[in-house]
């Protein structure tokens, strides 16, 4: 199989482009708000540190030593002949589920690019009405922005990974970070900042339930793009002598820092406006626009730049969700990239449309299953079930099925023996046990 190679920074940029996205700025704050704040954040941070980084490295390892699509990677690295491990590789299709609802949110952001220029709501009540009105009632506009987002993502993917992603990332990631830093300094000067800090960092254990623990673990998987084969697929293009460990840590640290920044900013504004943290999926769209509006014309500019940068952060993540299944289809089924993309694109467009409609008043009843709307089902199924399950499989595969000597040979240039053993122990025991425990806990309690 021929694959183009990333440059060394290219891999970090692409992996960071995948990790940093709406998960950090849209989903992390609203999940934190819905799950009571500090305790959720703590579980999230613990999961990233003790599980996420190790799994990230495990995925990099699988991609790096197999240099194959995820399905073939599991198949060829497994010592068992005719084995069932290839089925673990089907995790690539989780990316299709994620992309379906993710594209709807990119569509919302497109609408907010327009809003930030022409009609910023002046207070938080109006902002709430505007967001909820859009999601609940404006089917035509949402379908329009969703379709544009979809077309853009498919177009970028059809261009191929390297060229598409590296260039866009090089400009937009720093732009996003710059705007966040700007907003952060503004937030520090407001009263709500202290409240935001305690909301995010002082755990209230009474808010912890089996649901919120699973949600925090799922969010950690989601934010690092784990359990979809994305990191495996990107690591296929990694130059041989890249420091795998350092790259994994850089990406995870950057991703976490951005989520925490976003959380601090958004909750400062929420408390500044005396609004409730439990605004759900609208949180970022409700908390920021009134603030931009208060800044006058500068607010229009900053708001515009913020939503543009956010859209692109979303798009670079979106591209990374579909690449694993494209590589699988083109590699294993000898499909052309175009054909693979048409099949996957059709599925995404249909599922995405249903997700979009499930939030609207008109269709919410029809598209509800056991009390949950289809949009939320796609999200829950992928982040809280499929990604953690895939994480367990990856850990078991690396821990028990790939020869330890081979792993050691690949990683030892970048880790000392103590750290290697710690990582290996985490992969073999901690991850399978801890993640299963969280999932089982949710089923029974």
Q: Which residues contact ligand PFF by CB under 6 A?
A: 18-19, 21-24, 95, 98, 222-223, 225, 228, 230, 317, 320-321
Nearer to ligand PFF, 139 or 315 (CB): 315
Going by their DSSP bridges, the two strands 372-373 and 368-369 should be labelled as antiparallel
Nearer to ligand PFF, 21 or 373 (CB): 21
Nearer to ligand PFF, 112 or 424 (CB): 112
Nearer to ligand PFF, 90 or 186 (CB): 90
Q: Burial-class residue 445 by CB neighbours within 10 Å (0-12, 13-18, 19+).
A: exposed
Q: Which residues pair with 254 in a beta bridge?
A: none
> 38 — phi, psi (to 5°)?
-45, -45
Cβ-closest position to ligand PFF: 23
Q: How far is the CB of 419 from ligand PFF (least distance, A)?
A: 25
Q: How far is the CB of 22 from ligand PFF (least distance, A)?
A: 5
Q: How far is the CB of 108 from ligand PFF (least distance, A)?
A: 14
Q: How far is the CB of 322 from ligand PFF (least distance, A)?
A: 9
Q: How far is the CB of 98 from ligand PFF (least distance, A)?
A: 5
Nearer to ligand PFF, 227 or 299 (CB): 227
Nearer to ligand PFF, 166 or 290 (CB): 166
As a whole number of angstroms, the distance between CA 223 and CA 244 comes to 19
Nearer to ligand PFF, 11 or 271 (CB): 11
Q: How far is the CB of 30 from ligand PFF (least distance, A)?
A: 13
Quickly count: other Cβ atoms within 10 Å of residue 90's Cβ.
Answer: 16
Q: How far is the CB of 100 from ligand PFF (least distance, A)?
A: 12
Nearer to ligand PFF, 18 or 279 (CB): 18
CA 103 → CA 2, 60, 214, 409, 429, distances in Å?
30, 26, 24, 40, 36
List Cβ neighbours of 156 (8 Å cut-off, separation of 6 or more). 164, 165, 168, 315, 319
Q: How far is the CB of 393 from ligand PFF (least distance, A)?
A: 15
């Amino acid at each position: 199989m021929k694959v183009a190679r990333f440059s060394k920074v290219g891999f970090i940029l692409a992996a960071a482009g995948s990790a940093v996205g709406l998960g950090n700025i849209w989903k992390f704050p609203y999940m934190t708000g819905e799950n009571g704040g500090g305790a959720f954040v703590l579980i999230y941070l613990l999961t990233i540190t003790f599980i996420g980084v190790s799994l990230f490295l495990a995925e990099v390892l699988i991609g790096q030593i197999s240099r194959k699509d995820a399905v073939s990677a599991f198949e060829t690295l497994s010592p068992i002949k005719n084995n069932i491990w290839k089925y673990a590789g089907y995790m690539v299709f989780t990316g299709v589920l994620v992309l379906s609802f993710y594209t709807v949110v990119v569509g919302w952001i497109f609408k907010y690019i327009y809003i930030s220029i022409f009609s910023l709501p002046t207070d938080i009540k109006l902002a709430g009405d505007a967001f909820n009105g859009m999601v609940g009632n404006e089917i035509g506009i949402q379908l329009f922005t969703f379709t544009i987002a979809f077309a853009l993502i498919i177009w970028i993917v059809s261009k191929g990974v390297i060229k598409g992603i590296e260039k866009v990332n090089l400009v937009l990631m720093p732009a996003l970070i710059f705007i966040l830093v700007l907003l952060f300094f503004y937030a520090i000067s407001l009263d709500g900042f202290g409240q935001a800090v305690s909301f995010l960092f002082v755990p209230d254990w009474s808010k912890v339930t089996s649901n919120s623990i699973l949600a925090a673990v799922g969010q950690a998987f989601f934010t690092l793009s784990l359990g979809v084969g994305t990191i495996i697929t990107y690591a296929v293009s990694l130059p041989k002598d890249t420091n795998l460990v350092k790259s994994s840590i850089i990406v995870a640290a950057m991703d976490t820092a951005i989520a925490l920044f976003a959380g601090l900013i958004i909750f400062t504004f929420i408390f500044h406006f005396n609004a409730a943290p439990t605004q759900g999926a609208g949180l970022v769209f409700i908390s920021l626009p009134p603030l931009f509006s208060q800044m006058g014309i500068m607010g229009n500019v900053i708001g515009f730049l913020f939503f543009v940068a956010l859209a692109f952060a979303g798009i670079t993540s979106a591209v990374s969700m579909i690449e694993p299944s494209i590589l699988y289809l083109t590699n294993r089924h000898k499909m052309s990239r175009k054909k693979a993309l048409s099949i996957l694109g059709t599925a995404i467009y249909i599922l995405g449309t249903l997700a979009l409609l499930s939030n609207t008043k008109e269709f919410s009843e029809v598209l509800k299953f056991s009390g949950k709307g289809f949009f939320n089902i796609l999200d829950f199924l992928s982040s809280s079930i499929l990604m953690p399950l895939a994480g367990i499989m990856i850990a078991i595969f690396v821990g028990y099925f790939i020869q330890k000597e081979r792993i050691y040979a690949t990683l030892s240039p970048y880790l000392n023996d103590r750290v290697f053993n710690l990582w290996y122990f985490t992969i073999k025991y901690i991850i399978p046990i801890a993640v299963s425990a969280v999932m089982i806990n949710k089923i029974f309690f």
